[in-house]
A and B are shown apart, each in its own frame.
Chain A
């Protein structure tokens, strides 16, 4: 299982990041305005006067007990901050993931089928443009058109402020623009990938045999070729998760959406290292677990794959 050394690596990386912070880890965790007593408390709690391996062990011990530290600038535990934000970001990333798969797969299939036609060439240029688009600029343009000019959708936020409790129509309306913004980047890469792997599979013997048997192009494309083209795509999905978290930082910033990304950005500005480190560890763990899930799914879908 390669996931376990990677998990350990993520914790070592985070631990190392803490130690390269200017002023040392205690100051980094407590913040610039920490009192000497607070510094003393943290130094003692984390055993920062002990040798590095022991410190790492102590830190890992706290981590395994769900203690990610305390954010002095927000006066809350890092765990409670993440618990509050993670569902919002999961909702945003999940819908973006869903929309880009639903759009990228048909687009890629269609482009592979119509390969080298004028429409395929135009679609390729559009996909390249979308791929090269700065996320924040695309989001800004969307706000300018749909929120300011047409007034169809809200500018940002989680839901309309004066509504009490959980309001589904308002939540969905507030999700449309951020989801579109976040979806655009992965959409471009994925449709291009599907197009390539569909084109490759279409050249395989089995695809030609299916055609020769008299099966329609639609049946060959969707029942035979797409299934095989989608298998490596599962791994790609897993590998895109870190980029989605990165995209969420910018998307949540544009739309004032209170999720993990916005928290990370604010913590970076405030130099709240405890929160930054806690979120880095949690995200790293989620990404490793996501990749593990993708690998398992890969083996389930493709019986030829066996892991030792």
Chain B
């Protein structure tokens, strides 16, 4: 066991570090983009100083101009303002849903990994069951059942995306619980709950942090997909997904300013999150390899 893990480590030690440097530029650019998006979505609407839901049908489908930088939509609303406010909504849904998924997944995974045995076998089988049903089916099902406000949407996305995190955290805890400090804590009379939440889960933080980044990306895509399908964020509240729900009719109106900006905003932000997550994972692999 020890031999097998040592031999390749020597050869590949240089490899991930080079990779880490290679993705450095892209990861930094991604981080800068995320900061830029967060700031413009948070502050931009104040600068534009208008009601994002105020309609002006006379000015509908106006192409980009000095007055409306990204033109206007089918009801004459300022597209730039709606993209910025929509960004707030989509990012909030992504962040909250990912947090919900991570909390459920981490607790579930830590519990399975720590206790092992038949409890673990039974609970992980339940994860297999959930994984056999397409996530989007479950999402549509729950969204149809509990259709309502944005909070419901966040919860629905959260409770359908904890399976991946649960598996990953479980894997981490399985190896972490064999470490000497766990035995030390137990010898001092620490309860199971204390060992799990004060010792094991903080040590699995690397996995949890990386997975959270990917989860936010995934939850944002889920929001856009549900909103596109008309079961996500409801009009008139804008979101990056429902700004595109009329995209097909905009094609025939040749209103590309209504299709490209929200689409590119989703694409670039989700890509940036995935790049940052990938870079963090590479770095934490490096750290594990060098110790």
Contact = CB atoms under 8 A, between A and B. Distances in A.
Nearest to A255: B248
B221 interface: yes
Given A135-B225, A269-B230, A287 B132 contact: yes
A154 to B, nearest CB: 14
Contacts of A284: 129, 132-133
Interface residues of B, number: 50
A17 B22 CA distance: 47
B137 A279 contact: yes
A249 interface: yes
B128 interface: yes
B213 to A, nearest CB: 12
Nearest to B140: A268
A9 B126 contact: yes
A125 interface: yes
Nearest to B144: A268
B22 A116 contact: yes
B12 A133 contact: no
A245 B229 contact: no
B70 to A, nearest CB: 16
B128 A9 contact: yes
B125 A9 contact: yes
B133 A283 contact: yes
A6 interface: yes
B145 interface: yes
Interface string B253-290: 00010010001001100110111001000000000000
Given A9-B129, A280-B141, A265 B229 contact: yes
Contact of B8 (A137, A203, A253, A276): A203
A170 interface: no
A303 interface: no
Interface residues of A, number: 52
A21 B241 CA distance: 26
Interface stretch (A140-148, A157-165, A218-226): A140-148
B251 A6 contact: no
A280 B278 CA distance: 33
Contact of A128 (B132, B137, B275): B275
A92 to B, nearest CB: 14
Contact of A268 (B143, B252, B275): B143
B119 interface: no
A242 interface: yes
Contacts of B11: 203
Contact of B251 (A131, A148, A268): A148
B130 interface: yes
B135 interface: yes
Contacts of B145: 20-22, 271
Nearest to B122: A5
A249 B133 contact: no
A134 interface: yes
Nearest to A290: B132
Given A22-B145, A203-B12, A133 B274 contact: no
A131 B137 contact: no
Given A128-B275, A284-B132, A134 B228 contact: yes
A249 B267 CA distance: 20
A137 B266 contact: yes
Nearest to A272: B144
B224 A134 contact: yes
Interface in B116-158: 125-126, 128-137, 140-141, 143-146
Given A9-B128, A268-B144, A280-B133, 15 more contacts: A6-B125, A10-B129, A10-B132, A116-B18, A128-B274, A134-B221, A135-B225, A140-B259, A144-B251, A148-B251, A242-B134, A245-B136, A249-B137, A269-B231, A287-B134
Interface of A: 2, 5-6, 9-10, 12-13, 17, 20-22, 116, 121, 125, 128-129, 131-137, 140-141, 143-144, 148, 203, 239, 242-243, 245-247, 249-250, 253-254, 264-265, 268-269, 271, 276, 279-280, 283-284, 287-288, 291
| Chain A to chain B: the 5 pairs with minimum beta-carbon distance, closest first | A246-B136, A9-B129, A132-B270, A268-B144, A132-B271
30 contacts: A10-B129, A128-B274, A129-B267, A132-B274, A134-B241, A134-B244, A134-B266, A136-B225, A137-B224, A140-B244, A140-B247, A140-B251, A140-B263, A143-B248, A148-B251, A148-B252, A203-B8, A242-B132, A243-B135, A246-B135, A246-B137, A250-B225, A250-B229, A265-B140, A268-B144, A269-B144, A269-B231, A284-B129, A284-B132, A291-B132
